[in-house]
Chain A
């Protein structure tokens, strides 16, 4: 009994890490662009497809496929960022919702059009089990947790010390003032967007070996899971997002085991609504943006 609880918590931490990497990109995009990115799951999907394509068509090893997946996502993010996301800066909130919904439809259905709508088998990754402290865990899951930690420490260092990171924080606090002191807001917005989308792509490539199947519509579910996380974490709040992602990951894992697998995907929004009734600005409100 105790053993299964711990096992489910560990599984929850693995999926929490995945959600955290996706959600932190989305929350940073929100901080800088003031827009919820409804297409965020699509970048996760693009990363996965990039890696799948590299493995399936060119027989490349998994680590190379990770790079290809992330680069492919970032390249598409450059195009979308230039054509769409930069124009959202300063536009009313609804413009962001509609434009990113449009981008989501275009990306998802273009992939379905090109590769077909069927499920594809993802054959890369490290699936050998290892035993640690009496727990058996696939190598890939350990890799996910490690990468998750690296990403968060890296982001924390970046937004605290690097020039670009400081500019991102500044823009997320006050766009007008940044424009006045000569920061190129659109430039910052573009790079934040590419970073966020790239992280989503990375997370997709990391999860693919665990999920095994890859299909064009897979991003939608990720978007729907990420939305409650970033709202609960306080929009634009990196540390809050990390905590909220872990809470959701563990809660989902426990609900799937003890309540029923079919309720797993509703945990996020159900929790979100309860939290919002209690704290309308999220669990970790904007006190600590970035």
Chain B
């Protein structure tokens, strides 16, 4: 993908969008934020549910974007860490009844910690072997979830995971409505986006781009590439774990199916569909994913077939994702002004 992503090495300062339309972009961002906050007023429960799923998937997708879009490592392991997060959160909630925010943070920490021993051997591999190895994590994760029956209850999965509840001293409240959950997820997604933004804008983010562009060169100018790759792998796993935790508390069930290639493919569609290496692109990608899912609600097979064609279209016609089209749209608006 090095070739493909190279277009997006432009920092915002030099990208045509920022040069011509910073005001417009800020205005649009604010409008979108307002729209997001007011969405429950004019959206029914079902569309809201779809957006919640998209926002949950946004977390692992942000993680994958950091890994693929910024550091240049294609990983299929997001589903594994998504599943680990979901199970960690569910087990804590079911066995210890801990409040949501603890489960949520623990899910991220556990997924990130498990990524360390997995990342050390995996990151030694070159492109194709690395992809295979990360795929292996998903398969093995699923096998563990299926077979460690005393802990995970095997194929039956864990049910009756409590809806998120917050407890501070004597006060406690539970998020049980779809609207309540929507705001919770929206807030978390916004925080996660901010966190990713801060990482990417920091010197570390620029070092990551350097690794993506030319690892040998990056190493020769003194960037500790090995540690960067390992830490980014762990951060991306932690984000996937956080997403898995939200997913478990939203659906209130987890099963070995949480470890599925489907989730890894979905994350890839979100990241590459929006445009790897851009934050707004990934947000756009998650909305695109909702659109795609909604348009094909009638038959799950048709939806998967459409996913397949979508992947082919991405590879052959839109290697930079669909977000650059929006960039072109901005320039068009600017010229009209």
Give A268-290 interface residues, CB cut-off 8 Å to B: 269-270, 272-273, 276-277, 280-282
Nearest-CB residue, chain A, relative to B124: A280
**CB <8 Å contact, B268 and A98:** yes
20 example contacts (A-B, Cβ-Cβ < 8 A) are as follows A93-B1, A93-B128, A95-B319, A98-B311, A98-B314, A101-B311, A102-B312, A105-B311, A106-B305, A109-B302, A110-B305, A113-B305, A220-B261, A228-B132, A231-B129, A231-B132, A262-B146, A263-B143, A266-B139, A269-B136
For residue A68, CB closer than 8 A to chain B, the reply is no
Assembled-state Cα–Cα distance A227/B131 (Å): 10
Interface of B toward A, CB cutoff 8 Å: 1-4, 74, 121, 124-129, 131-133, 135-136, 139-140, 143, 146-147, 261, 265, 268, 272, 299, 301-302, 304-305, 307-312, 314-316, 319
**CB <8 Å contact, B308 and A94:** no
Nearest-CB residue, chain B, relative to A266: B143
Nearest-CB residue, chain A, relative to B276: A94
B312 — which chain A residues lie within 8 A by C-beta? 84, 99, 102-103, 106
**CB <8 Å contact, A95 and B315:** yes
Assembled-state Cα–Cα distance A265/B147 (Å): 12
**CB <8 Å contact, A94 and B1:** yes
**CB <8 Å contact, B265 and A105:** yes
**CB <8 Å contact, B315 and A102:** yes
For residue A104, CB closer than 8 A to chain B, the reply is yes
A101 — which chain B residues lie within 8 A by C-beta? 265, 268, 308, 311
**CB <8 Å contact, B304 and A92:** no
A277 — which chain B residues lie within 8 A by C-beta? 121, 124
CB within 8 Å for A92 and B4 given contacts A103-B308, A273-B121: yes
Dominant secondary structure at the A interface: helix
Chain B min CB distance to A259 (Å): 11
**CB <8 Å contact, A113 and B140:** no
Chain B min CB distance to A234 (Å): 11
Number of A interface residues at 8 Å Cβ cutoff, please give it: 43
* B316 CB contact (under 8 Å) in A99, A108, A262: A99
Chain A min CB distance to B34 (Å): 35
Chain B min CB distance to A82 (Å): 13
A99 — which chain B residues lie within 8 A by C-beta? 311-312, 315-316
Contact flags A221-235 to B (C-beta < 8 A → 1, else 0): 000100110010001
For residue A256, CB closer than 8 A to chain B, the reply is no
A142 — which chain B residues lie within 8 A by C-beta? none
Dominant secondary structure at the B interface: helix
Q: Which of A93, A101, A228 has the most CB of B within 10 A?
A: A101
**CB <8 Å contact, B132 and A98:** no
For residue A36, CB closer than 8 A to chain B, the reply is yes
Nearest-CB residue, chain B, relative to A274: B121
Nearest-CB residue, chain A, relative to B131: A97
Assembled-state Cα–Cα distance A160/B98 (Å): 66
**CB <8 Å contact, B136 and A273:** yes
B309 — which chain A residues lie within 8 A by C-beta? 102, 106
CB within 8 Å for A235 and B143 given contacts A95-B315, A98-B311: no
Contact flags A14-58 to B (C-beta < 8 A → 1, else 0): 000000000000000000000010000000000000000000000
Known pairs A92-B1, A113-B301, A231-B132; list 9 more (Cβ under 8 Å).
Answer: A36-B132, A94-B127, A102-B311, A102-B315, A105-B265, A109-B301, A109-B305, A113-B302, A280-B126
**CB <8 Å contact, B308 and A104:** yes
For residue A169, CB closer than 8 A to chain B, the reply is no
Assembled-state Cα–Cα distance A97/B76 (Å): 10
**CB <8 Å contact, A228 and B136:** yes
CB within 8 Å for A224 and B311 given contacts A109-B301, A262-B143, A265-B143: no
Chain A min CB distance to B268 (Å): 7
For residue A112, CB closer than 8 A to chain B, the reply is yes
B3 — which chain A residues lie within 8 A by C-beta? 92
Nearest-CB residue, chain B, relative to A270: B140
A239 — which chain B residues lie within 8 A by C-beta? none
Assembled-state Cα–Cα distance A101/B302 (Å): 16
For residue A120, CB closer than 8 A to chain B, the reply is no
**CB <8 Å contact, A266 and B140:** yes
**CB <8 Å contact, A94 and B307:** no
List the 7 shortest-distance A-B pairs measured between CB atoms, nearest first. Answer: A102-B311, A105-B308, A106-B308, A269-B136, A109-B304, A94-B1, A266-B143
A224 — which chain B residues lie within 8 A by C-beta? 135, 139
Assembled-state Cα–Cα distance A102/B127 (Å): 19
Chain B min CB distance to A6 (Å): 28
Assembled-state Cα–Cα distance A93/B2 (Å): 10
Nearest-CB residue, chain A, relative to B147: A262
B308 — which chain A residues lie within 8 A by C-beta? 101-106, 109
Assembled-state Cα–Cα distance A103/B304 (Å): 11
B127 — which chain A residues lie within 8 A by C-beta? 93-94
Nearest-CB residue, chain B, relative to A225: B139
* B307 CB contact (under 8 Å) in A93, A102, A262: A102
**CB <8 Å contact, B136 and A272:** yes
Q: Which of A92, A103, A108, A113 has the most CB of B within 10 A?
A: A92
Contact flags A91-134 to B (C-beta < 8 A → 1, else 0): 11111011101111110111011000100000000000000000
* B74 CB contact (under 8 Å) in A84, A97, A106: A97
CB within 8 Å for A280 and B140 given contacts A92-B1, A103-B308, A103-B312: no
Assembled-state Cα–Cα distance A91/B140 (Å): 30
